[in-house]
Amino acid sequence: MNSEETPLLPDVVRAYPFSWDSGFVWPPETDEGEESLAYARAALEACLPRAALASPEPPEEPVVWESGDGGDGEYPAWTGVRAVLRGHMPYARHVTAGRMAAARAECARHGVDTTDFEEIWTRRITAWIAEQTLGWCGLMVDDEKALTPWLMDLAELYARRGMAVEKAVWALRHTAAVPESRAALTRLAAYEGLPDEIRARIAEELR
């Protein structure tokens, strides 16, 4: 393997089968059997940052208002970078040093700041994959026993480490009938590392 083909994601994440064109979303018809659950767990374990991030990932999706509706009608610059990257890397297996360098060069030609480009965007892609995996587990998997306790443990860690926070809390809220989820939510409601609005939302739901 030459340096341009060097993968930037762990092997288990490179095997992620869902495309970036579809937002890395797990299709509704995905089988909920042992194989899918085992892969979801392995992917979440591989995507989890080793320590809390300096700033949350991924960035919040923009809400763009029509002119006259209270907004400027413009998307933040990072969404343009994402579009470039998606074209170069339609699947997780395509997240390589060479493709990242090509995307960086394209963005630089358009005047985009490309400082720490590979580090930032590899982390961001990882976060989007983690978001969608947490979302599938929390909403689409009916067998909550099959998720207990590993999903609850991982979701709490994601929330504490600043990656895919909204989806992690969301997965816990959607499995709140499970004692492990309620216990995790209770701890997170008191965790000062979370944004106040998320903590308040959790506390309200726990009442």
Confidence of residue 5 (pLDDT cuts 50, 70, 90): confident
What are the domain boundaries of the chain? 3-49+69-206
DSSP of 89-137, one letter per residue?
Answer: -SSGGG-BHHHHHHHHHHHHHTT---TTHHHHHHHHHHHHHHHHHHHHH
Coil, helix or strand at residue 194: coil
pLDDT for 74:
83
Global pTM value = 0.93
Average pLDDT over residues 24-38: 97
Q: Radius of gyration (Cα) for the chain, nearest Å?
A: 18
3-class SS letters over 138-151 = HHHCCCHHHHCCHH
Rounded distance, CA 8 to CA 119, Å? 9
**Averaged over 51-59, what is the pLDDT?**
96
Kindly state the DSSP code that residue 76 receives in the 8-state scheme. Answer: -
Does 65 have pLDDT greater than 70?
no
Whether the predicted pLDDT of 73 surpasses 70: no
Report the distance separating Cα 121 and Cα 72, nearest Å. Answer: 26
Question: Which of 181, 60, 34, 57 is CA-nearest to residue 129?
Answer: 57
- pLDDT tens profile 93-119: 999 999 999 999 999 999 999 999 999
Residue 68 has pLDDT above 90, yes or no: no
